[in-house]
Amino acid sequence: MESRYKDADAAKAIEKYAAGETLGLRTYTARLLGSVPDLVVHGGGNTSAKGTVHDRLGRELDVLYIKGSGWDLGTIEPAGHPAVRLGPLRDLRKLEKLSDEEMVAELRSALLDASAPTPSVETLLHAFLPAKFVDHTHADAVLALADQPDGEKLCRQVYGNGLVWVPYVMPGFMLAPRVADAFEAAGKDAWVIVLQQHGVFTFGENAKESYERMIRAVTMAERAIADKRRTVMTRGAVVVQGIESRILPRIRGVLARANSDALERGPILHARATDAVHEFLSRSHAEDLVAIGPSTPDHVLRTKPEALFIRDPDYSNLEGLGRRVEAAVQDYGVKYDAYFEEMCKTKGVEKKKLDSLPRVILLPGFGMVTMGKTLADAKVVADVYEHSMAVMSDADDIGTYRPVSRADLFDVEYWSLEQAKIKPQPPMPLGGAVALVTGAASGIGRATAAMYAQLGAHVVMVDRDDSGLESARKPLDPKRVTSYRADMTIEGEVRAAVAHACRTFGGLDILVSNAGDAPQGRLDTSEGAEALRASLEVNLLSHNHAARAACEIMIAQGRGGSLIFNVSKASFNPGKNFGPYAVAKTALLALTRQYAIDLGQYGIRSNAVNADRIRTKLFAGGVVEQRARARGVSVDEYFRDNLLSREVTAEDVAQAFAHLAQARATTGCVITVDGGNAAAFPR
Ligand code: ZN
């Protein structure tokens, strides 16, 4: 691993952050560490610096700038290292013990800024070490050595007298004096502290020294692993591809059932199939390694104590595989509950059990499937587990993988300070739902996609208008909204769009079938007859393509689903010369009801929204001016010509789409959004 420290960049950082030299450099090297996933991932690791500040009365105070909770090293700002009074914290070393709550109270009351984030749980460890700069990571390469039965010996071979070895102690108050004692007992050559089964600390009199020692420690570990590597026996990975859209919805349904999620809701899945993942899964004893546990205790909240490994999956029978995964998830839950009970009993503690679902499912030949409440969460799990895999492989290649024991892992999994790191999100009306919205580049589709995303859904926006789609998607949250170009009249493209939803989010719960066109003409003319044929393609058959493809996924998930079609006032109140549009839309209303009747047995609901006179591109090209003229009113008056005398907007229609997505007991229904039109009342 190479040092990326550059004196010129360091000088620029001091200037850029304008927070003084110490905090500027602290921010700079914390970011250097945080940008390398082999060192830390997703909020792991912590860093500090010691300095002096003046209080309001002008008195000089010794302080520790320590990483605050909620900050990620890769993106940290000076505010991410709040200052705490060093003296009072160092005094705590005299204590025999300190509860978690007491420690947090001490840390918070030592803050110079009462509104700053709570200092890291490792604050005291940083405070008790004398060096000005202290860096801590969970570097993969060091863990491969430290996660071994003879970890101390291996580390001693690599670092010699430079090593301070600290046997495993759970993070928190008790660890801090142990590390300080070990450091003080070590000779003057000591420059690296390895925490058994946990991670590595380096320190220095300046930011560069501490950072470069970290890089050196990792580089030396990497070389040692390369030297010690034995030949690895793999079974030769046979990789299956292109089945994501058929396998992920089944797994999603299994997990939603196991977690008793509401119908039409479930976890969001992320599938990862890199070469490294395939290589790991094809190891002859990958299953045994997986059962041992994560490479550092910090990972347990993301990945659970173990991943679920499916041995020899049969990809030629996905239905059978789905049943196998279902049974395996059940077994996993039973095992997890037993582990929880046993730990509570042997430790004599009372805890509130977390859910019993795996976070990582491993399918050799296919890859890794991770889950979360959001796609972002699922990706974090995958990132973290990839690093556990890397450590498992290396540790196994050079010896025996032995990370922290299950009993110790339990303490971290059920540690209130650790759980505080993952704050539960407030429930959202469409949280856990995956929706596909067609005609999403403009008007009603665009407004509906935006509203769904705001209500917590993960959304696939589909349209054939590439550039319109891009500008419609841009303002929306990229973590939960994706777009896909497809022409809904081409069945293959529709299926590809639905497959995209499954690949990206793991399945599909809601179809908003909205794309349409408004052709005119008299049916007894040849132009009218031609327009009718084209209209049936766009306004009827394309909806059937979408509904069929969506239902296939919904049935595979087995968690119900919601189809919502955009019919039109023309289905109830046809207009003159509007036959091609009215006939197709009336048929679409019949299609809506037919799906309600035929698919109800699967819990799939089918409803429609009947909207009228919305300023969308259906009215482009002079259509609206022509209609307004025909009625002898202005364009604005035309749009307000309803019982409520108010113009109906695309957002009003989106509200109806959002309501139907939540109306769990409603099917075969039409909601009218037109400001009131007696002639068009549904009958
Ligand atoms: Zn740590």
Label residue 187 by pLDDT band (50, 70, 90): confident
211 catalytic? Reply is: no
Give Rg (Cα) of the chain. Answer: 30
Q: How far is the CA of 56 from the centre of ligand 1 (A)?
A: 34
Q: Are 515 and 438 in contact (CB under 8 A)?
A: yes
Secondary structure letter of residue 110 according to DSSP: T
Say how many Å lie between the CA of residue 659 and the centre of ligand 1.
46
Distance of CA 30 to the CA centre of its chain: 24
319-326 contact pairs (CB < 8 A, 24+): 319/250, 321/247, 321/250, 322/247, 322/250, 322/251, 322/253, 322/254, 322/556, 325/250, 325/251, 325/254, 325/361, 326/254, 326/257, 326/258
What residues contact residue 565 under an 8 Å CB cut-off, 6+ apart? Answer: 513, 514, 543, 547, 588, 589, 591, 592, 606, 607, 608, 609
pLDDT of residue 231: 63
Q: How confident is the prediction for the chain on average, in pLDDT? A: 94
Give tens-digit pLDDT for 244-274.
999 999 999 999 999 999 999 999 999 999 9
Q: What percent of the chain has pLDDT over 90?
A: 84
User: 406 C-alpha vs ligand 1 centroid, how far in Å?
Assistant: 17
Stretch 632-658: mean pLDDT: 93
d(CA 24, CA 17): 6
Query: Given a cut of 70, is residue 350 above it in pLDDT?
Result: yes
Higher pLDDT, residue 576 or 608: 608
Q: Are the beta carbons of 538 and 517 closer than 8 angstroms?
A: yes
Residue 149 burial by Cβ neighbours in a 10 Å radius (0-12, 13-18, 19+) = exposed
Q: How far is the CA of 139 from the centre of ligand 1 (A)?
A: 10
Q: In sequence order, what are the beta bridge partners of 370? A: 270, 360
Contacts 24+ apart (CB under 8 A), 219-223: 219/1, 220/158, 220/159, 221/139, 221/141, 221/142, 221/144, 221/145, 221/158, 222/1, 222/141
- 210 pLDDT exceeds 70? yes
Give the Å distances, CA to CA, from 151 to 142, 198, 396, 408: 10, 11, 13, 17
Q: Quote the ligand 1 centre to 221 CA distance (angstroms).
A: 18
Give rounded-to-5 percent helix, strand, coil for the chain. 50, 15, 35
Whether 422 has a pLDDT exceeding 70, the answer reads no
Q: Which residues contact 111 (CB under 8 A, 6 or more apart)?
A: 82, 83, 84, 119
Q: Which residues pair with 510 in a beta bridge?
A: 435, 562
CA of residue 338 to ligand 1 center, whole Å: 28
257 C-alpha to center of ligand 1: Å? 35
Residue 31 has pLDDT above 80, yes or no: yes
Residue 233 has a pLDDT of: 59
Are 643 and 676 a contacting pair, CB within 8 Å?
A: yes
Per-residue pLDDT, 615: 83
pLDDT tens, residue by residue, 297-325:
989 989 999 999 999 999 999 999 999 99
Q: How many CA atoms lie within 13 A of 249 on its CB side?
A: 28
Distance of CA 424 from the midpoint of ligand 1 (Å): 22
Q: How far apart are CA 46 and CA 292, in angstroms?
A: 26
Question: Which amino acid belongs to residue 47?
Answer: T
For range 419-427, the mean pLDDT? 73
Pick from 341-345, 625-629, 658-662: least confident: 625-629
| Annotated active-site residue in 17, 159, 211, 581 | 581
| Residue 24 and residue 78 in contact, taking contact as beta carbons nearer than 8 Å | yes
Q: How far is the CA of 45 from the centre of ligand 1 (A)?
A: 5
Q: How many residues can be counted in the chain?
A: 683
pLDDT score recorded for residue 6: 96
Residue with tokens 């993070």, as numbered in its chain: 171
Distance 114 CA to ligand 1 centre (A): 25
37 CA from centroid of ligand 1 (Å): 14
In the reported structure, the alpha carbon of residue 387 is separated from the centroid of ligand 1 by a whole-number distance in angstroms of 14
The pLDDT-based confidence of 421 (bands split at 50, 70, 90) is low
Residues 451-475, mean pLDDT to the nearest whole number: 97
CA 94 – ligand 1 centroid, Å? 23
Bridge partners for 135 per DSSP: 47, 202
What token pair was written down for 241? 């591809």
pLDDT band (50, 70, 90) for residue 235: low
Instruction: Quick: pLDDT tens for 385-407.
Output: 999 999 999 999 999 999 999 99
**8-state DSSP, 295:** S
Cβ proximity of 324 and 312 under 8 Å = no
Q: What was the pLDDT predicted at 681?
A: 87
Q: Which two tokens stand for residue 144?
A: 């491969």
pLDDT of residue 571: 87
What pLDDT is recorded for position 232?
65
Q: In a 10 Å sphere around its CB, with 0-12 CB exposed, 13-18 middle and 19+ buried, how is residue 522 labelled?
A: middle
- pTM for the full predicted model: 0.92
220: its two tokens: 């030396």
What residues does 65 pair with on adjacent strands? 49, 83
Centroid of ligand 1 to alpha carbon of 198 (angstroms)? 6
Q: How far apart are CA 477 and CA 454, in angstroms?
A: 9
Mean pLDDT, rounded, for 197-208: 97
Q: What tokens does 65 get?
A: 């700038």
User: With pLDDT > 70 as the criterion, what percentage of the chain qualifies?
Assistant: 97
Confidence of residue 625 (pLDDT cuts 50, 70, 90): confident
The whole-number pLDDT of residue 425 equals 76
What value does the mean pLDDT take over residues 422-448? 92
Alpha carbon of 296 to ligand 1 centroid (Å)? 8
Mean pLDDT, residues 4-8: 96
Q: How far apart are CA 559 and CA 520, in angstroms?
A: 40
Give 234's pLDDT tier (boundaries 50, 70, 90).
low
Instruction: Give helix then strand counts, H and E, for the chain.
Output: 26, 18
Q: Does the pLDDT of residue 619 top 70, yes or no?
A: no
**Residue 333 CB neighbour total at 10 angstroms:** 16
Report d(CA 70, CA 609) in Å as an integer: 43
pLDDT tens figures, 278-296: 999 998 889 999 999 999 9
110-150 pLDDT, tens digit per residue, is 999 999 999 999 999 999 999 999 999 999 999 999 999 99
Summarize pLDDT for 536-550 with one digit per residue, the tens.
Answer: 999 999 999 999 999
pLDDT for res 237: 67
Q: How confident is the model at residue 378 (pLDDT cuts 50, 70, 90)?
A: very high
